[in-house]
Structure 1
């Protein structure tokens, strides 16, 4: 990679605001141009149609990806909460944002390394690759070899991301409101505040280092699962150094034999149970890029811990009760446990309550099965249809508690991965041992 493919990240609030201001001007110009074109054809255009032209959507997506963190995180939360109820245009735009970001140029990268390790930072390494292995919402990852010959992966944060989180999120929301892409029923304020909290947590590399070390301690003696080693002497406020772990992207498992795919899928489901009921912390981002499969050792490799959330004993006990009730299809116990974690805080009709509990039971359909064939199921469609029935026909749009939202996201992400891998799992036998008091 050369610096031609990199783009400097605007590091200050005013420069980041100016980027969005310039975008608004270009979008407005696109609206005018499209309006003139449609009028010339004798058509009477609507405002939303003028805003949602392919050119304008490209402008918005490009700018939000350039600003990185806030837009991507808000997009994740919106897609988690609104799902298929979002306009197609917004869903596609957010999907594009989640696919990655352009890397920062070499000079900006060197400045971040100097801030963390000093002006002589390069003396810490025998080799340092300026071409990133990956570029995402908060930072990018580079490979290096230290003086002792250890293979390293360095997570390097984009400059200005932490300082601009709150203003970036507010600016992104303003832009999405202007585009009229957001469902009017969406409880946006809660998602905005959570996007800010989550971004601040993910930008705290010292906090992520704590999570990394906790997982390493919990899983260090566990066969088949590997966690990178943390290197504190080569880490800093915006630099996280860990051992480089080899492997292939998790979706490459589709080329492995079915028994091997099923073994890794079972590991992932058991790991979620262990995270929730033993560790009290869950890595809640099911993005395939957060895991690797090492075909040489046949290990599952855990990579990213920025989206890890802590769950209190109260929460874990309530979710243990929810899983048990969902598997047993005990509506009374399910209602009691769901109420404990914050569902049904507002007045709802009995029909709405029944629909919410039905969604819980449907989401746990795989966990009730002796063997569940994820390749043959239409579970995702049925969940979508019931969710739309609840939101649109029953008139009930209620975000679950944020901690629940992230946990649901992780479970749904695993279901999606299992479907992609075409596996059948003895889900009930895998889950039930973790549900005993």
Structure 2
């Protein structure tokens, strides 16, 4: 969720399917019109039009991001999946366009918010509240969060779903997928369909706030004895399928904790990585959205605040077993076992060229080499990232198109990548070898 008030402005969310489809149609026509004008201009200068350059003008980028941000839902979810999960494969221009959606913070105007709450709680609900702030404290792809205080003194965080999002998921996903394909920026042979299908399924799950409430309760139970973490408590009597009511938990953006001591930052990073490993190997269930805004830190209690369990997913036992073998083989530097399990997981297939298999295996070996070469891995050291990027570019330029990953694996890689970025932002140093060894012992 984005919670930067400087970016926030009230913007009515289109509710009806036709209005959402019309918004996409107008955007597509506008982008195509801008491209046509640009192409004519280049032809007039005796230049051959370049489709990528015509699409990626400031005017087109602004039009696309603003329209998709206003629609929320599928538009932003696909943006998250494309920009976070495949940024090392897709052209950087497309990832950049979609990644901009994560930083947008438009929210429903007060009149639309009241209409939604009246439909969920019935007229006259405000009489039970001491206060209700109509300006959200956070906004995301599915809904926005408001601070409120009941007359009995309980301070609440109330997540309100955008109207029309749930009913328009399937059509939104299809339309945004068509827009991405129209861009012409997809690498030849890249399978977008699995990402679209995953976005569709995730959206259907995340728009069920009763499901998210159950996941919140589940993680509260799982982490009850973990002193490093604090979570909101579900307030069931004020929760509905479109409104999730929780106790308010105070905290500051965790990526802003760079002023803390090195040891404090290392401890935060270690706790987050250990939690991720526990979710995979002990809990069998994971909060798969690594958005920074889902993690806060309370400096008074020195606890990590965990938020937003809409993207919680079960991890299948087969995937758990495969990653257990992957980590054990990597730590043991058993290259034969490592290459075998990498193929079983699906990072490459039996049809993949031997040279590509070797390159992918070498990249994974490089990661484990970095983890095991010293007791503490410095996440601020750019060496590994630079080498991986160079090897990834070489692989892409050599024509490698990754096979569609199983959904469990896709979600795990998304979480791992997000944790790496967050720990990097904290400037932490962590004994990864010890944490992983303990998790797979």
Report if TM-score (shorter chain) is over 0.5: yes
Q: Please point out which of 63, 67, 71 is paired with 1:63.
A: 67
Q: So what's the TM-score if we normalise by structure 1?
A: 0.94
Q: Please point out which of 421, 429, 439 is paired with 1:434.
A: 439
Spell out, residue by residue over 1:260-300, the C-alpha distance to the aligned partner (whole angstroms, 9 max, x if none): 11110111111111111111111122111000011111100
Equivalent position of 1:168 in the other structure:
172
User: Quick check: 1:89 aligned with 2:93?
Assistant: yes
Does the residue aligned with 1:183 lie in a helix, a strand or coil?
coil
Question: Structure 1 pair 342/34, CA: closer, same or farther in 2 (3 Å)?
Answer: closer
What aligned pairs does 1:159-238 form with structure 2 within 5 A after superposition?
159-238=163-242
After alignment, is 157-166 or 332-341 more displaced? 332-341
User: Quick check: 1:254 aligned with 2:262?
Assistant: no
Partners of 1:147 and 1:316 lie apart in 2 by: 46
Partners of 1:171 and 1:392 lie apart in 2 by: 30
After alignment, is 356-365 or 204-213 more displaced? 356-365
Does the residue aligned with 1:370 lie in a helix, a strand or coil?
coil
Partners of 1:273 and 1:54 lie apart in 2 by: 41
Question: Structure 1 pair 138/366, CA: closer, same or farther in 2 (3 Å)?
Answer: farther
Q: Displacement of 1:181 after TM fit?
A: 2.4
Q: Displacement of 1:317 after TM fit?
A: 2.1
User: Quick check: 1:281 aligned with 2:281?
Assistant: no
Contact 1:27–1:56 at 8 Å: present in 2 too? yes
Q: Please point out which of 357, 360, 369 is paired with 1:356.
A: 360
What aligned pairs does 1:19-418 form with structure 2 within 5 A after superposition?
19-368=23-372, 369-393=374-398, 395-418=400-423
Contact 1:76–1:98 at 8 Å: present in 2 too? yes
After alignment, is 31-40 or 248-257 more displaced? 31-40
Spell out, residue by residue over 1:366-419, the C-alpha distance to the aligned partner (whole angstroms, 9 max, x if none): 542421111123222222222233333163422322211211121122222222
Contact 2:85–2:413 at 8 Å: present in 1 too? no
Equivalenced residues, count? 435
Spell out, residue by residue over 1:208-257, the C-alpha distance to the aligned partner (whole angstroms, 9 max, x if none): 11111111001122212111101110110111111111111011110111
Does the residue aligned with 1:83 lie in a helix, a strand or coil?
coil
Partners of 1:261 and 1:69 lie apart in 2 by: 34
Contact 1:66–1:101 at 8 Å: present in 2 too? no
Contact 2:83–2:96 at 8 Å: present in 1 too? no
Partners of 1:344 and 1:53 lie apart in 2 by: 35
Contact 2:377–2:432 at 8 Å: present in 1 too? yes
Partners of 2:294 and 2:406 lie apart in 1 by: 24
Partners of 1:315 and 1:92 lie apart in 2 by: 31
Partners of 1:162 and 1:254 lie apart in 2 by: 38
Say which structure, 1 or 2, has more relative contact order (CA 8 Å, 6+ apart). 2
- Unaligned 5+ runs, structure 1: none
Question: Structure 1 pair 178/255, CA: closer, same or farther in 2 (3 Å)?
Answer: same
Superposition CA RMSD, Å? 2.1
- Unaligned 5+ runs, structure 2: none
Partners of 1:376 and 1:44 lie apart in 2 by: 43
Partners of 1:395 and 1:179 lie apart in 2 by: 21
Question: Structure 1 pair 365/149, CA: closer, same or farther in 2 (3 Å)?
Answer: farther
